[in-house]
């Protein structure tokens, strides 16, 4: 997968050989989508507003930090938000599954547990998103955030937000497996806004805003105590591990903080074990917040996570406030 991803984003020519598979993928995806829009499959219309936060590329873009920010911001505006997730990587004993800050990642998935911890909001995972929505509404939520829900058409939505990694953009602009796109770029003309995590190299002709991911704290995995970014609680060179969609973004953030490190990139949603955080030199180990929820049960005193927060530009906040007034 790593070699294929490099080809998508670095201009390699050989992915053109995958064109037949790309055409098959696009045909299947289009038929599935048309089944909902033609009425052959039911789209459940929620009685409360639904905001979908998703992407059209595989890999990390920053949508979960944006979802966390949205949840906190909506609560500050007087809403009672709830978060819906597929719970990728988790296998719950039942569905819908209510996620708490202490839920087992093996049941809920890493991102839902992280969102529960960061927002303290109701989070429900379920492959059937309308069923998850009904659970949250019954619990008193009056607005819903569907994390990574762009391609889950069974749940109706009022606002669609697409998050893009500004540095990587859309790669070669082709669909899987010839490129990184889950849907053709033409899909962007139908969404409400594109939000780029950093400046976007290839702007599209739709409403577009920017956000940044800002380091907010160093968190000790053993006791959860946070330290300010300026008061770094460890010294010397560290081991930096990242099992996220785009590990290089995490490593570049450490560079901006002048942290010397040896990098250990791992696959997205990597299933961590105690061996992954143990190194013979006993140097500190630093990881993402998403990885920390999986490593906390077996972390030692040298393990730290770097918490980050989404910081949307003011124009995006103004646009969202105006849109919500119309719902």
Whether pLDDT at 202 is above 80: no
Do 31 and 137 lie in a common domain? yes
Tell me the pLDDT of the chain averaged across its residues.
94
Whether pLDDT at 212 is above 80: yes
Residue written as tokens 């976007």? 200
Do 49 and 128 lie in a common domain? yes
Q: Where residue 246 falls among pLDDT bands split at 50, 70, 90? A: confident
More confident position, 216 or 89:
216
**CATH no. for residue 159?**
3.40.50.300
Do 77 and 205 lie in a common domain? yes
Q: How many domains does the chain have?
A: 2
Average of per-residue pLDDT across 237-247:
93
Do 11 and 135 lie in a common domain? yes
Q: List 227's β-bridge partners, or say none.
A: 218
Whether pLDDT at 77 is above 80: yes
Do 178 and 74 lie in a common domain? yes
Do 227 and 283 lie in a common domain? yes
pLDDT digits (tens, 9 = 90+) for 17-76: 999 999 999 999 999 999 999 999 999 999 999 999 999 999 888 999 999 999 999 999
Do 90 and 8 lie in a common domain? yes
Whether pLDDT at 272 is above 70: yes
Query: How crowded is residue 198: how many other Cβ atoms within 10 Å of its Cβ?
Result: 16
Q: Where residue 281 falls among pLDDT bands split at 50, 70, 90? A: very high
Q: Which range is least confidently modeled, 191-205, 226-240, 308-322?
A: 191-205
Do 141 and 197 lie in a common domain? yes
Whether pLDDT at 204 is above 80: no
Write down the pTM of the prediction.
0.93
Which of 263, 229, 259, 271 has the alpha carbon at shortest distance from 247? 263
User: Quick one: pLDDT at residue 59?
Assistant: 82
Do 197 and 284 lie in a common domain? no
* Phi, psi dihedral angles at 47 (to 5 degrees): -75, -10
Whether pLDDT at 203 is above 60: no
Q: Where residue 211 falls among pLDDT bands split at 50, 70, 90? A: very high
User: Quick one: pLDDT at residue 57?
Assistant: 94
Whether pLDDT at 269 is above 90: no
User: Quick one: pLDDT at residue 200?
Assistant: 76
- Each residue of 53-83: b (16+ CB within 10 Å) or e? bbbbbbbbbbbbbbbbbbbbbbeeeebebbb
Q: Which domain holds residue 225?
A: 213-310
Whether pLDDT at 100 is above 70: yes
* Phi, psi dihedral angles at 287 (to 5 degrees): -145, 175
Average of per-residue pLDDT across 81-87:
95
Q: List 161's β-bridge partners, or say none.
A: 53, 193
Radius of gyration in angstroms for the set of CA atoms belonging to the chain, rounded to a whole number: 20
Whether pLDDT at 182 is above 90: yes
Do 33 and 83 lie in a common domain? yes
User: Quick one: pLDDT at residue 290?
Assistant: 92
Whether pLDDT at 166 is above 60: yes
Do 181 and 242 lie in a common domain? no
Do 6 and 71 lie in a common domain? yes
Positions of E strands within 193-260: 193-197, 208-220, 226-227, 238-242
CA atoms of 48 and 9, how far apart (whole Å)? 39
């Amino acid at each position: 997968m790593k070699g294929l991803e490099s080809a998508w984003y670095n201009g390699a020519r050989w992915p053109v050989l995958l064109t037949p598979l790309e055409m098959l993928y696009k045909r299947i995806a289009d038929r599935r989508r048309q089944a909902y829009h033609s009425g052959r499959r039911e789209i459940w219309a929620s009685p409360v507003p639904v905001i979908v936060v998703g992407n059209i590329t595989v890999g990390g873009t920053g949508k979960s930090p944006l979802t966390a920010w949205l949840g906190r911001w909506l609560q500050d505006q007087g809403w009672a938000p709830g978060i819906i997730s597929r719970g990728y990587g988790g296998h719950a004993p039942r569905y819908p599954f209510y996620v708490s800050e202490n839920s087992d990642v093996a049941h809920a998935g890493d991102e839902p547990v992280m969102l529960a911890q960061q927002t303290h909001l109701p989070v429900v995972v379920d492959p059937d998103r309308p069923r998850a929505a009904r659970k949250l509404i019954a619990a008193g939520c009056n607005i819903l955030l569907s994390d990574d829900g762009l391609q889950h058409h069974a749940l109706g939505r009022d606002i669609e937000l697409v998050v893009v990694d500004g540095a990587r953009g859309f790669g070669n602009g082709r669909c899987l497996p010839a490129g990184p796109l889950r849907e053709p770029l033409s899909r962007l003309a139908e969404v409400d806004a594109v939000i780029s995590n950093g400046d976007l190299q290839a702007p599209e002709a739709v409403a577009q805003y920017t956000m940044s991911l800002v380091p907010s704290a160093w968190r000790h995995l053993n006791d959860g105590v946070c330290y300010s970014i300026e008061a770094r609680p460890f010294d010397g060179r560290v081991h930096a591990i990242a099992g996220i969609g785009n590990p290089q973004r995490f490593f570049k953030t450490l560079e901006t903080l002048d942290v010397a490190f040896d990098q250990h990139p791992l696959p997205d949603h990597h299933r961590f074990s105690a061996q992954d955080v143990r190194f013979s030199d006993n140097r500190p180990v630093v990881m993402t917040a998403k990885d920390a929820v999986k490593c906390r049960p077996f972390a030692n005193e040298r393990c730290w996570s770097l918490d980050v927060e989404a910081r949307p530009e003011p124009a995006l906040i103004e646009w969202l406030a105006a849109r919500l007034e119309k719902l």
